[in-house]
Amino acid sequence: MHAIAHQLGAFYHVPHGRANAIVLPKVLGVIAQREPRFLAELLAQVFPKKSTGNVDKDAKLLVDMVEKLLVELDLPTVVKELNQTDITALADQAIKEAFGVYPVPVVMTRFECEEILRELVPE
């Protein structure tokens, strides 16, 4: 997440906190698909009354809760400056920055990083 946010800041001057907020639900979505137990355990620790005991449902619930919070806070869900033609370079830089450095529950592939960035392009 941080590596992608850093690229959004470097390429488009998106403030770091805002970039992380925009990217967070997308990265959580990747984690929910590949390592749902991680998010289910996080939900159980942070919101124990929300936990259903079903790993996949709880992982999705946490992602949904984060998405809902961002909407309630009126935060952007896309990067208005993001250009489709920059996605490869952004993904390359993010993967290069993050590889082996950040402690993450899932090591994201270049393809996953590009998919996240595509979701951030305004329609």
Q: How far is CA 111 from CA 15, 87, 121, in A?
A: 25, 11, 16
- Note the pLDDT tens digit of each residue in 1-24: 789 999 999 999 999 999 999 999
End-to-end CA distance of the chain: 22
- DSSP-derived secondary structure letter, 84: G
Range 37-48 average pLDDT: 95
Q: Which domains does the chain have, with CATH numbers?
A: 2-119 (1.20.1090.10)
The model's confidence at residue 33, banded by pLDDT at 50, 70 and 90, is: very high
- Note the pLDDT tens digit of each residue in 44-61: 999 999 999 999 999 999
What does the alpha-carbon distance between residue 40 and residue 75 come to, in Å, rounded to a whole number?
Answer: 25
Tokens 């806070």 -> residue: 73
Q: Helices 110-119 and 2-12 sit at what angle, rounded to 10 degrees? A: 50
Query: How many helices (H) and strands (E) are present in the chain, helices listed first?
Result: 6, 0
Residues, the chain, total?
123
| pTM as predicted | 0.90
- Note the pLDDT tens digit of each residue in 68-116: 999 999 999 999 999 999 999 999 999 988 877 777 777 888 999 999 9
Say which residues have a Cβ less than 8 Å from residue 40's Cβ, sequence separation at least 6. 51, 54, 55, 56, 58, 59, 62
104 three-class SS: coil
